[in-house]
A and B are shown apart, each in its own frame.
Chain A
Amino acid sequence: MTVLELDDASKFFRTQTGLGALLSRDQEYVKAVNDVSLQLDDGEIVGLVGESGCGKTTLGKVVMRIHELTDGEITLHGTPIEEYGRKEYFQEVQMVFQDPFKSLNPQMTVREQLAEPLKVHGHDDREERIRESLEFANLTPPDQYLDRYPHEISGGEKQRVAIARALVLDPSVIIADEPVSMLDVSIRAGVLNLFRQLAEERDVTILYISHDLATVRHICTEIAVMYLGKVMEYGPTERICSTPSHPYTERLLSATPVADPTHDRSKVVYDEEVPDPVDLPDGCFFKHRCEFATEACDEEDMHLRPPAKAEADDEDWLMACHRAADGDLDWETIPSHNL
């Protein structure tokens, strides 16, 4: 069942604000999120990946109602998100931030951190919910943690407290923006597995934002690849990671280093910069960096469609490249192609 749906969602930022905006005649916009449509079902973990500046964090913030949509619509359980009262909305949608050292209040004990949302939302069964949340986040026994302050627990435990806090209201959606990038490798795995458990055991829908395809591959059921505000490819994790159809997805994958010294991978070199998001080119935004670009790419409107290599049961696999849709990309001609 669809829980969260984005329908041509867009978020543009003005490049000038205040007096400058009043005085300048031509207002320019940064198109951070540009006509994005996504559908998240219950229990799905959708990975949102892309380079820095591709708009993935802005998209998360729009869903969190930190930013208002410029255009398009986002619905939660079929109702547009702005029709929810704020309290009602955050009962359903919670966020886990990148840096647990900053997202927890240093002056509150673990119990107080988790009690805060329950107080705001007027729940009486606080102690019970807090304990249950901590247990789920594997902070056991809860008594060992309840009265400790953030500085008294390790980084991995802090992020577990942040997850427990997001859970305590029993939300149906969690937005997690780079939730493990600040954590050490040896404890990262535990936090990643926890997200998987959340989706599998509690049917929580998770939007997992990260630039690290290796971790995304491990926990996400679907992946959306974003570039300059647009979704370039969307599909089941295995499809995206083993047989990507969009040239940009292929680039991202082949740029990911492999922890195997016997694996021979040629590096992806881009000395040219990503186009200016204020002054986007005509046609496909990726054409300047794409080995397969032709003149026809100037006309490309980047709407999502099935790739030529999709099979009958691949109905959820979509991408935005006219050449891959026609099936005339010969991957073997790319030197870095080694998937």
Chain B
Amino acid sequence: MLLEIEDLRTTYTDSSTESTVTAVDGVSFEIEEGESFGLVGESGCGKSTIAKSVMRILPDNGRITDGAVRLNGEDLTELDAEPMRQRRWTDIALISQSAMNALDPVYTVDTQIKEAIEAHESWSEQRMDDRVVELFELVGIDPERRHDYPHQFSGGMKQRAMIAMALVLDPDLIIADEPTTALDVISQDTILHHLEELQAETGASMLLITHDMSVVAEMCDRTAVMYAGELAERGPTETIFTNPYHPYTLGLKNAFPSIHGGADSLISIPGAPPPLTDPADACRFADRCPFAAPECRSSDPPMKEVADEHEAACARIDDVGIETMREQAAKREVWHGVDDAPDGASAGDGAASAPTEVSGGDSA
């Protein structure tokens, strides 16, 4: 096992109000060697905090309060600053959404990549040069252009140059946090293609963090769906998409537009995620969930196995019956009530709309 994240808990403290936000609340997953693992969720669900916790680059007010992050068996949360610095870039590399803006405008791209190498290794000039040329070819940029300044590159090229830079020391794990979100579809496709190729070539594992379900569907072997600081569901990408178990995943599928298939209208999920300042001991999706029952508000359901290598954190699957749940979740009126207009936007509406017709039935 390359990366094991066990019961990770990361908090941010607001110094002015002295309140604490638990951005990641007991998340566990593992990534195998050479595997692509997708982490999907909406803004504020804590997915980027996981990336920052693994890299140990949390802002000053952020702290890992519990759990372990083991890379090749070594717990990164226990490391001192200097050994941790050595792990970054050499063993784990991060490609972030705004990576392309991290390039320094006054140095050539070549200089900046070599600077990164020199911070970790004492390679000869020739060796560094060969490596830069090799990587530029891998990410599909003419190596002649390595001596260009960042402003001479387009956004997509800058992002590809940053990918080259992240891979320069052949890391075991690549964390890609929304690597293509700022780019248009054609640049996105080119970058995803190069990422796949690079991964195949180097055998690195990848943690791909994104809000875009279609990117995960195409890139990842296994996927975890995250909601309000916790994992809602985790399993092989194919079954997450074809046979989802958690009502949140079912709702996301309804809301996600597709370029193929009928242009039937999309169904949004009513309400908004709860604040994470003082989470109650309850299912965090309960207020938006059409299948919620009183038990969902009295304890936070743990992850449990629902199918082969597939886990979900929902207490209602057995009671409602997964077939009934999927059937019901595909209907607009189940989410928004019968006489509601196409979409109820106000937070809290979800709590009132728990339909009675689906509770207790088990026609599976």
Chain A residues with CB under 8 Å of chain B are 51-52, 138-140, 144, 154-157, 160, 184-194, 196-197, 211-215, 217-218, 237-238, 241, 251-253, 255-263, 265, 267-271, 273-274
Known: A190-B345, A268-B189, A269-B190. A258 touches B251 (CB 8 A): no
Contact B43–A184 (Cβ < 8 Å) = yes
Chain B residues with CB under 8 Å of chain A are 42-43, 140-141, 154-155, 157, 183-190, 192-194, 196, 211-215, 217-218, 237-238, 241-242, 251-260, 263, 265-269, 272, 341-347
B189 → chain A closest CB, angstroms: 4
Contact A196–B272 (Cβ < 8 Å) = no
Contact A269–B140 (Cβ < 8 Å) = yes
Contact A255–B185 (Cβ < 8 Å) = yes
Can you list 19 pairs linking A and B with CB atoms under 8 Å apart? A52-B155, A52-B183, A138-B344, A184-B42, A186-B252, A189-B265, A189-B266, A189-B343, A193-B266, A194-B342, A217-B263, A252-B186, A253-B259, A255-B188, A257-B192, A259-B241, A269-B189, A270-B186, A273-B154
Chain B residues, CB < 8 A from A156:
268, 272, 345
Q: Knowing that A140-B341, A238-B263, A260-B241 are A-B contacts, what are 18 other residue pairs whose CB atoms are under 8 Å apart, sorted by A's residue number? A: A52-B184, A140-B346, A185-B252, A186-B251, A186-B252, A189-B266, A189-B268, A190-B342, A218-B266, A241-B259, A258-B259, A259-B256, A259-B258, A261-B217, A263-B217, A267-B190, A273-B154, A273-B157
Contact B269–A255 (Cβ < 8 Å) = no
Contact B186–A268 (Cβ < 8 Å) = yes
Q: A183 CA to B341 CA in the complex, in Å?
A: 20
A176 → chain B closest CB, angstroms: 15
In order of increasing CB-CB distance, the 7 nearest A-B pairs are A190-B343, A189-B266, A271-B140, A190-B268, A189-B268, A257-B214, A267-B193
Q: A160 CA to B347 CA in the complex, in Å?
A: 13
Contact B185–A259 (Cβ < 8 Å) = no
Chain B residues, CB < 8 A from A217:
257, 259, 263
B148 → chain A closest CB, angstroms: 12
B166 → chain A closest CB, angstroms: 18
Task: Considering the complex, give the chain A residue whose CB is closest to the CB of B349.
Answer: A140
Chain A residues, CB < 8 A from B344:
138, 190
Known: A217-B263, A258-B259, A261-B238. A211 touches B193 (CB 8 A): no
Known: A144-B346, A217-B257, A267-B192. A138 touches B187 (CB 8 A): no
Q: A251 CA to B43 CA in the complex, in Å?
A: 30
Contact A186–B343 (Cβ < 8 Å) = no
Which residue of B193, B269, B346 contacts A139 across the interface (Cβ within 8 Å)? B346
Contact A192–B213 (Cβ < 8 Å) = no
B136 → chain A closest CB, angstroms: 10
Task: Considering the complex, give the chain A residue whose CB is closest to the CB of B343.
Answer: A190
Which residue of A157, A257, A261 contacts B346 across the interface (Cβ within 8 Å)? A157
Which residue of B188, B194, B212, B343 contacts A193 across the interface (Cβ within 8 Å)? B343
Q: A56 CA to B363 CA in the complex, in Å?
A: 51
Contact B211–A211 (Cβ < 8 Å) = no
Task: Considering the complex, give the chain A residue whose CB is closest to the CB of B157.
Answer: A273
Which residue of B190, B213, B242 contacts A262 across the interface (Cβ within 8 Å)? B242
Task: Considering the complex, give the chain B residue whose CB is closest to the CB of A271.
Answer: B140
Q: A197 CA to B236 CA in the complex, in Å?
A: 38
Contact A192–B257 (Cβ < 8 Å) = yes
Contact A193–B265 (Cβ < 8 Å) = yes
A165 → chain B closest CB, angstroms: 15
B283 → chain A closest CB, angstroms: 16
Chain A residues, CB < 8 A from B215:
257
Which residue of B193, B260, B268, B341 contacts A263 across the interface (Cβ within 8 Å)? B260
Chain A residues, CB < 8 A from B196:
267
Contact A257–B42 (Cβ < 8 Å) = no
Q: A241 CA to B218 CA in the complex, in Å?
A: 20
A256 → chain B closest CB, angstroms: 5
Contact A185–B263 (Cβ < 8 Å) = no
Chain B residues, CB < 8 A from A238:
263
Known: A138-B344, A190-B268, A271-B140. A214 touches B259 (CB 8 A): yes
Contact A271–B141 (Cβ < 8 Å) = yes
Chain B residues, CB < 8 A from A261:
217-218, 237-238, 241-242
Chain A residues, CB < 8 A from B256:
185, 259
Contact A258–B190 (Cβ < 8 Å) = no
Contact A258–B217 (Cβ < 8 Å) = yes
Chain A residues, CB < 8 A from B140:
269, 271
Task: Considering the complex, give the chain A residue whose CB is closest to the CB of B260.
Answer: A258
B164 → chain A closest CB, angstroms: 13
Chain A residues, CB < 8 A from B192:
257, 267
Q: A82 CA to B194 CA in the complex, in Å?
A: 48
Q: A246 CA to B265 CA in the complex, in Å?
A: 27
Contact A260–B260 (Cβ < 8 Å) = yes
Contact A218–B263 (Cβ < 8 Å) = yes
Q: A256 CA to B260 CA in the complex, in Å?
A: 10
Q: A213 CA to B251 CA in the complex, in Å?
A: 21
Contact B185–A252 (Cβ < 8 Å) = yes
Known: A185-B42, A212-B185. A257 touches B257 (CB 8 A): no
Chain B residues, CB < 8 A from A213:
185, 259
Task: Considering the complex, give the chain B residue whose CB is closest to the CB of A197.
Answer: B342
B343 → chain A closest CB, angstroms: 3
Chain A residues, CB < 8 A from B157:
273
B210 → chain A closest CB, angstroms: 10
Chain A residues, CB < 8 A from B183:
52
Task: Considering the complex, give the chain B residue whose CB is closest to the CB of A160.
Answer: B345
Known: A52-B155, A187-B269, A252-B185. A271 touches B190 (CB 8 A): yes
A338 → chain B closest CB, angstroms: 10
Chain A residues, CB < 8 A from B187:
51-52, 270
Task: Considering the complex, give the chain A residue whose CB is closest to the CB of B139.
Answer: A271
Task: Considering the complex, give the chain B residue whose CB is closest to the CB of A51.
Answer: B184
Q: A212 CA to B265 CA in the complex, in Å?
A: 16
Known: A258-B214, A258-B259, A259-B217. A211 touches B184 (CB 8 A): yes
Q: A189 CA to B253 CA in the complex, in Å?
A: 11
A215 → chain B closest CB, angstroms: 5
Contact B255–A186 (Cβ < 8 Å) = yes
Chain B residues, CB < 8 A from A194:
342-343
Chain A residues, CB < 8 A from B265:
189, 193, 196, 218
Task: Considering the complex, give the chain A residue whose CB is closest to the CB of B193.
Answer: A267
Chain B residues, CB < 8 A from A160:
345
